[in-house]
Amino acid sequence: MFERDLTFIPKKAISAPFYKERGPSLIIIISIVLAIVSALVAGGFYFYKNKINKEVEELKKSVDRAQLTVDEETMNNLEDMAEKIKNAKKIIYNHKSLVPLFKLLESTTLESIRFSNFSYSESGENVSIKMEGEANSYSSLANQSDSYAKNKDIRNFVFSNLSLTDKGNVKFSVDIQVNPSLILYSNKINNK
């Protein structure tokens, strides 16, 4: 028979299995790139924060320097000026002008009416006009009454002391209560 040498010891050296070396896997590459990008972003934010903090400090110092330049005397002058402006506004608001009152009389007085005496008075919220005059007739006086009644600035009016003159005219007195806001100068300013 055949003789073969049977042995369990290999006669040739067994070589290690051959593995082809691959580069790093895709997941590892992505992880490394993300880590680097995260580190760069974090570093950028850190330096940006420091830059902003420095700018804030510089602005605070600038404001402090500006406050030091505005001295106490200047502040007192500005406060005094503000008070003067406030008082001037108050004076202008409460100032009275009779021009609108005369315009009212001009627009409401009929041609057949003549006034010979005029007096003006104020007491609190009441502005009163007392006048004496003549009308051509009683119907002219009635028309004058209608003219006053139609005007919104005239609150109340009363004709009195009616009498006939030698020429046949009607002599009268009239008391008129006028809306006090009519004579306020501030209304003239606000209407412009």
Q: Where are the beta strands (DSSP E) in the chain?
A: 113-123, 126-135, 154-164, 170-178
Q: What is the dihedral of CA 135, 138, 140, 143, to 10 degrees?
A: 130
End-to-end Cα separation, the chain, in angstroms: 139
pTM of the model: 0.52
Domain ranges of the chain: 99-190
Report which of 187, 115, 113, 114 is spatially closest to residue 153, judged by C-alpha positions.
187
Q: From its phi and psi, is residue 50 left (phi > 0), alpha (psi between -120 and 50) or beta?
A: alpha
> Which option is the CATH number for 99-190: 3.30.1360.100, 2.40.50.140, 3.40.50.2000, 3.30.460.10?
3.30.1360.100
122: tokens are: 């104020």
Each residue's pLDDT tens digit in the chain (192 positions)? 555 666 666 666 666 655 566 667 888 889 999 999 999 999 999 999 999 999 999 999 988 887 777 777 787 888 899 999 999 888 887 778 888 889 989 999 999 999 999 999 888 788 899 999 999 999 999 999 999 999 898 889 999 999 999 988 999 999 999 988 888 876 666 665
